[in-house]
Amino acid sequence: MTTVSIIGNGNMGSAIAGIAAAGGNSVEIIGRDGGEITGDIVVLAVPYPAIAGIVAERGAELAGKVVVDISNPLDFSTFDSLVVPADGSAAAELAAALPASKVLKAFNTNFAATLASKTVGENPTTVLIAGDDEGAKQLLADVVRGGGLQAVDAGSLDRARELESIGFVRLTLAVQEKIDWTAGFALVK
C-alpha cells in the first residue's frame, strides 16, 4: 500500500484520489488550508500558476518524495500557446525547483471524467507517465493500475514537453466544443 497526498480538491484531485483509493492506497487530500504532507507520492492537482506558491511554501516537505505534476501550462487568457519555453516544460521547471524530489509528469493528458469513469469510450483510460526515476514511475504506475486504469511509461522527464503539448491540444479542442469533456486518451493494443 502506498500513501498518496493530493494537493488540490477540484475535479482532477478528486478523480485521482478515487483511483488511488480504489487500489487500496491511503489517500490524503490537502486543500488551501494546508495540512501535513504524509504521502510517498504527492500529486500537485492545481493549475500551473499555483505551483510556484506551493514550492515556495512547502518545498522542504516535498524533499525525498515522488512529486507528480499534472498541470498544463497554457495561456488561459487566449488558449493559443503554452507559457513555458519551447524547449522546456512545467515539469522541468518543477524538477529544477525541487532537486531533492523525484518529479513525474502524469494525468495532464486526461480529463477528470475519463479518470473517474476509468474508460475512454469502450477502452480503459491510459495515464502516460514521464520521469527520470524508474522506481518513482513504477510506484505511480502501480497506483494507477491498482485503481483500474492503464499506465504507460512515456520516457524521461524530457517527454513532459510533448505530454504538455498533447494536453494543450486536448484542452483547446474541448473549450472550442470540438470534443466533449468525456473524450480522452486510451492506447489500444
Question: Which residue, among 126, 104, 101, has the nearest Cα to 184 in the 3D structure?
Answer: 126
Residues whose CB is less than 8 angstroms from the CB of residue 47 and which lie 6 or more positions away in sequence, other chains included: 71, 76
- Rounded distance, CA 116 to CA 128, Å? 16
For range 115-124, the mean pLDDT: 93
Indicate the pLDDT class of residue 187, thresholds 50, 70 and 90: confident
pLDDT tens, position by position, 127-180: 999 999 999 999 999 999 999 999 999 999 999 999 999 999 999 899 889 999
Q: Please report the pLDDT score of residue 79 as a whole number.
A: 77
Length of the chain as a residue count: 189
What predicted TM-score, i.e. pTM, was given to this entire model? 0.95
The confidence score (pLDDT) of residue 162 equals: 96
Specify the pLDDT at position 78: 81
* Secondary structure of the chain as H, E, C letters: CCEEEEECCCHHHHHHHHHHHHCCCEEEEECCCCCCCCCCEEEECCCHHHHHHHHHHHHHHHCCCEEEECCCCECCCCCCCECCCCCCCHHHHHHHHCCCCEEEEECCCCCHHHHHHCEECCEECEEEEEECCHHHHHHHHHHHHHCCCEEEEEECHHHHHHHHHHHHHHHHHHHCCCCCCCCCCCCCC
pLDDT at 123 over 80: yes
Return the pLDDT at 75.
87
The answer to whether residue 184 scores a pLDDT higher than 90 is no
Region for residue 115 given its phi and psi (left: phi exceeds 0; alpha: psi -120 to 50; beta: otherwise) = alpha
Q: What domains are there in the chain, each with its CATH number?
A: 3-175 (3.40.50.720)
17 pLDDT tier (thresholds 50, 70, 90): very high
Angle between helices 48-62 and 90-97 (to 10 degrees): 30
Distance from C-alpha of 87 to C-alpha of 170, rounded to nearest angstrom? 20
Supply the mean pLDDT for the chain.
94
Mean pLDDT of 98-102: 98
Choose among 116, 122, 182, 123: nearest CA to 152. Answer: 123
Q: How many Å apart are CA 90 and CA 75, to the nearest integer?
A: 13
For position 186, what pLDDT does the model report? 74
Give tens-digit pLDDT for 43-75.
999 999 999 999 999 999 999 999 999 999 998
